[in-house]
Amino acid sequence: MTSVSTLVDQLKSAEGEALQKLLYALAELLDKASDDTSDALCAELRGMGAVAVISKLLTHEAKQIHRLAISIIGNLASTALDSKAGLSNNLLKQAGAFDHLLRHLLTTKDDTTLLYALIAIQNMCVEIEYVNKLKAAGGIKRLQHIVGQTDPQLRQFAQCCLDNARTVVDVSDLVSDPGAVFDAILSSTSATDTRTISEVANYLISQCAMKLALVPRVLQIIDVNGDGIIDRDEFIKAHEAGIFASNGIPAAWTAAATEGL
């Protein structure tokens, strides 16, 4: 079996049918990766420069080529496949991948290409910048149109894209003022200045502000006194110091989020 490094090296110069076969081989590697191997595989692909190579192929004129590239991008951006997908998303952003996916969403007449584009957009659309691009290009209206169509898979993933976009907007608004966030936490009870870690966690989870598995780790760091209580100043200082970002909070909180997504 061809090694990942050899496969990526060959991708950089391959054309035509050879290029298609290499992309298919890479897509198959990702599809068959187990939970134990998928993180390492994606890390190796990042290290070999594969993200930029695949992103360039999103604009390839051959349908078979750009369709495979879209499928691979969707996998690389998926936290279900790679717990460090945020790192791949950063590279995809540098390569302008989202703009190319958006073009496919808006113009393709091929249902399979459209399905792959929807999946990739769903996985990548975790930043307010992407939501704004969707709106500006007419992507939201396009997604709403697809939701009204008959194909159940297309409807499902178009709706997921819309749900993601709505969540990103909500989270972006939520964290624009960390003091207001903490005040909102207090407003649910008669407490005046502190909340327990579990109460803060429950609030953040309910607002889709962070993933459940990340909450204990992040809040433990915020609780600098180790007393199980987080006061308003601790919360705001943690936000300003980038603790949320550096500990895997979704990219809607800050563009600096690069791991644990």
Render each residue's pLDDT in the chain as its tens digit; 261 residues.
568 889 999 999 999 999 999 999 999 999 999 988 999 999 999 999 999 999 999 999 999 999 999 999 999 998 889 888 888 988 999 999 999 999 999 999 999 999 999 999 999 987 888 989 999 999 999 999 999 988 999 999 999 999 888 877 765 655 555 566 566 656 655 555 555 655 665 555 555 444 444 445 555 556 655 666 666 676 667 666 665 555 544 434 333 222 222
Axis-axis angle for helices 215-222, 197-206 (nearest 10): 130
Determine, yes or no, domain membership for 251.
no
Cα 110–Cα 112–Cα 117 angle in degrees, nearest 5: 95
229-231 and 194-196 beta bridge pairing = antiparallel
| Maximum pairwise Cα distance, the chain | 67
Determine, yes or no, domain membership for 261.
no
Q: Examine the fold and report which residue of 144, 171, 198 is the final residue of a domain before the chain moves on.
A: 171
Same domain? 164 vs 201: no
Q: Examine the fold and report which residue of 124, 153, 171 is the final residue of a domain before the chain moves on.
A: 171
Instruction: Quote the CA–CA distance of 180 and 236 in Å, as a whole number.
Output: 10
Same domain? 57 vs 162: yes
Instruction: Quote the CA–CA distance of 228 and 84 in Å, as a whole number.
Output: 29
What is the three-state SS of the chain? Answer: CCCHHHHHHHHCCCCHHHHHHHHHHHHHHHHHCCCCCHHHHHHHHHHCCHHHHHHHHHHCCCHHHHHHHHHHHHHHCCCCCCCCHHHHHHHHHHCCHHHHHHHHHHHCCCHHHHHHHHHHHHHHCCCHHHHHHHHHHCHHHHHHHHHCCCCHHHHHHHHHHHHHHHHHHHHHHHCCCHHHHHHHHHCCCCCCCEEEHHHHHHHHHHCCCCCHHHHHHHHHHHCCCCCCEEEHHHHHHHHHCCHHHHCCCCCCCCCCCCCCC
Determine, yes or no, domain membership for 254.
no
Same domain? 79 vs 44: yes
Answer whether 176's CB lies under 8 Å from 136's CB: no
Instruction: Quote the CA–CA distance of 191 and 118 in Å, as a whole number.
Output: 44
Same domain? 200 vs 137: no
Same domain? 187 vs 239: yes
- CATH number reported for the structural domain that contains residue 110 in this entry: 1.25.10.10
**Number of domains comprising the chain:** 2
Residue 252 has a pLDDT of 40
Same domain? 127 vs 18: yes
Same domain? 193 vs 78: no
Same domain? 55 vs 130: yes
Give the side-chain half-sphere CA count within 13 A for 92: 32
* The residue count for the chain: 261
Same domain? 92 vs 129: yes
Q: Examine the fold and report which residue of 134, 151, 171 is the final residue of a domain before the chain moves on.
A: 171
Determine, yes or no, domain membership for 260.
no
Determine, yes or no, domain membership for 26.
yes
Instruction: Quote the CA–CA distance of 55 and 52 in Å, as a whole number.
Output: 5
Same domain? 80 vs 199: no
- Give me the domain span that covers residue 137: 4-171
Determine, yes or no, domain membership for 259.
no
Residue 168 has a pLDDT of 72
Residue 150 has a pLDDT of 85
pTM greater than 0.75: no
Residue 65 has a pLDDT of 97
Determine, yes or no, domain membership for 200.
yes
Same domain? 44 vs 104: yes
Residue 180 has a pLDDT of 60
Instruction: Quote the CA–CA distance of 20 and 24 in Å, as a whole number.
Output: 6
Answer whether 45's CB lies under 8 Å from 4's CB: yes
